[in-house]
Amino acid sequence: MNLFFLQNNNYRLSWQPCYKLCLLLFLLITAAQTAKANPDYVKAYYPLINEAELKVVSQQYDSALVYYQQAFTTVSAPLARDYYNAAVCAMLTANQKQTVEYLEQLVLKGVAFSYLESQPVFEELHTTRQWRKFRRKSRKYRRTFESTANLDLRADLDELYARDQYFRQAEGGLRVYRDTLREIESANVKMLLNWISQYGYPGEALVGVADTLEELPRYSIVIQRQTKLKGGFDFTSILTQAVHEGKLAPQAAAYLMDQQAGKHIYSSRAFIKVNCNNPEDCAQDKKLEKTQGYLVEKLSAGELSEVNERRSKLGLEPLADYRKKVRYNLQDDRFKLSYGWSVANYYVPSREAVDVIMEGLVEAE
């Protein structure tokens, strides 16, 4: 009887370590799945994308592709712009199969096949079997996008832009319809906030992207109008959360927050060009000679450190690396490493105006 008890007790005890090990493995797997389903993009995704883009700038496309592939495995919903750049890297490394796979992901996000077909970088693919197969399947991918994206919400969001523009484009514009426009802007904010409360921030996974791989959705105009100078609604916390959740690229969020603040807290504007509207008046102006190249805002060492700290918290690269990417993209437009706001063009009427605006600028290195 005692022997039987001991044997059974030993049997029970022998299973205890195994049970604990199995439980630990289960918890680890569950945690990994949860992390991928709800990752913090600032920690898991954007740093890898930044490394990939720096490899592109160095023209190390093989290495860039490795970083892109790694980034795409860390999250369930990579961003469309990154798929595009990864497709270009795959194209330049003669990996046609991988190129098409990334382009397929773009169509599933809402990008039109015709837009991708019009990009010169992919022209060599057009006569291949992979491209013909891609063309045949593109309609199916489009239907899949239309069945999964909330297109009704997207249409409502686009309507916000139409409401914003209607009276601005009418005769008299802001001068005549100032009060009406103020009421529209207020109503647009309320509607946008209501939809964000109901659906979350409307990122790519919810409403897709435009046919032409937009930099900013059209409804972003609602946020841009809400400047600190006019006492507008502050979207900072909403935009920051959207970045962490992968619903908004950090570059786009930085631009919108700079617009709201009325100053460049993230330096989303990488370079500045100053142009004189009166060439005769500005002729032989020594300061204007610098405008033939790119200018940047004057920043002390302390100010630069603060900008980079804010950029890092938002998942952005240091300002120097950002400028490297923009410069590279100005020379090689096959990639999408810069944005419409990356280079600001100032048009000034006279030499005196040039002198004033140049006071806060220095020539870019």
Within 10 angstroms of residue 265's Cβ, the number of other Cβ atoms is 16
Domain ranges of the chain: 41-147, 149-263, 265-365
CATH number for the 41-147 domain, one of 1.10.10, 1.10.760, 2.60.40, 1.25.40? 1.25.40
SS3 label, residue 107: helix
Instruction: Kindly report which listed range (38-47, 116-125, 216-225, 291-300) carries the lowest average pLDDT score.
Output: 291-300
Structure tokens at 125: 């693919």
More confident residue, 240 or 33: 240
Q: Per mean pLDDT, which range of 19-28, 54-63, 115-124, 222-231 is the poorest?
A: 19-28
Q: Kindly report the three-state secondary structure assignment for every residue of 253-316.
A: HHHHHHHHHCCCCCCCCCEEEEEECCHHHHCCCHHHHHHHCCEEECCCHHHHHHHHHHHHHCCC
Q: Report the C-alpha dihedral over residues 285, 289, 291, 296, rounded to 10 degrees.
A: -100
Please compute the mean of the pLDDT values over residues 324-353 and round it to a whole number: 92
The mean per-residue pLDDT over the stretch 98-105 comes to 98
Residue 319 pLDDT > 80, yes or no? yes
Give CA–CA dist 268/317, Å, rounded.
11
**Are the beta carbons of 64 and 55 closer than 8 angstroms?**
yes
CB neighbour class for 136 (10 Å; exposed up to 12, middle 13-18, buried from 19): exposed
Say if CB 266 and CB 316 are below 8 A apart. Answer: yes
Percent of the chain with pLDDT over 90: 76
The predicted-structure confidence for 56-96, as pLDDT tens digits, reads as follows 999 999 999 999 999 999 999 999 999 999 999 999 999 99
Q: In this structure, are residues 358 and 290 in contact, taking their beta carbons and an 8 Å threshold?
A: yes
Within 8 A by CB and 6+ apart from 201, the residues are 238, 239, 241, 242, 245, 247, 248
**pLDDT of 1 above 80:** no
